[in-house]
Amino acid sequence: MSANRTSVSRRAAALGALALAGSLLAAAPAQADGAGGSPSAAPSAAPAAGSTPTGDGAKAICKRLPKTQQHVTKALTRLNGDATVSGSVARLQQRADNAKAAGHTEIEKLLNDRLTARKSLVTTLQTRQTDLGSVATWCAAHDQGASK
């Protein structure tokens, strides 16, 4: 019977601790706002400074342009490489052909799906390379984005 009382007292203590924790958690946001518990004090609705862009980031884009052009050129060189170049379209095509010849239809399907995505990546990067050329011309004409 004493074990039963201990169990009941432990449950009561746990419930008390839970109620205390809940009341502390409920009071924490009011104290963090500096409201001091008064319901009339509403939190500030002003947006944080700098939360929306005030410009187009031209200066930063012009600054990063050479590095971005290098990345795009390097990726296109890799993708357009022959079957000996890791990551090339030709290498992935060869792997898909090997899977087909071996009768591994599920592997072939996976590789062909990856091949489709990789070919579309080539098109996207070629478009980006053209766009970056236009941006380079703009940056040169506009003091690397510093002028408005």
Q: Which residue has the tokens 């509403």?
A: 42
- Are residues 64 and 128 both part of a single domain? yes
* Higher-confidence position of 52 and 2: 52
Return the pLDDT at 20: 54
Is pLDDT larger for residue 7 or for residue 2? 7
pLDDT in tens, 88-105: 999 999 999 999 999 999
Compute the Cα dihedral for 97, 103, 105, 107 and give only its sign: negative
Residue 73 domain flag: yes
Please indicate, yes or no, if residue 39 is contained in any of the structural domains: no
In a domain? residue 52: no
pLDDT tens per residue across span 36-74:
555 555 555 555 665 787 888 999 999 999 999 999 999
CA dist 114 and 101 (Å) reads 18
Residue 125 scores a pLDDT above 80: yes
Percent of the chain with pLDDT over 70: 66
Secondary structure (DSSP) of 51-90: -S-SS--HHHHHHHHHHHHHHHHHHHHHHTS-TTSTT-HH
- Per-residue model confidence (pLDDT) at position 51: 77
Identify whether 16 is part of a domain: yes
Do residues 64 and 137 share a domain?
Answer: yes
Is 62 found in the same domain as 24?
no
pLDDT for the residue 52: 85
Mean pLDDT is lowest, of 32-36, 75-79, 93-97, for 32-36
**Do 84 and 128 lie in a common domain?**
yes
| Residue 53 covered by a domain | no
If one counts the domains in the chain, the total is 2
Residue range of the domain that includes 14: 1-30
Residue 37 maps to a domain: no
Amino acid identity at 134: S
Position 13 pLDDT exceeds 70: no
Identity of residue 102: A
Helix (H) or strand (E) holding 8: helix 2-32
15, pLDDT greater than 90: no
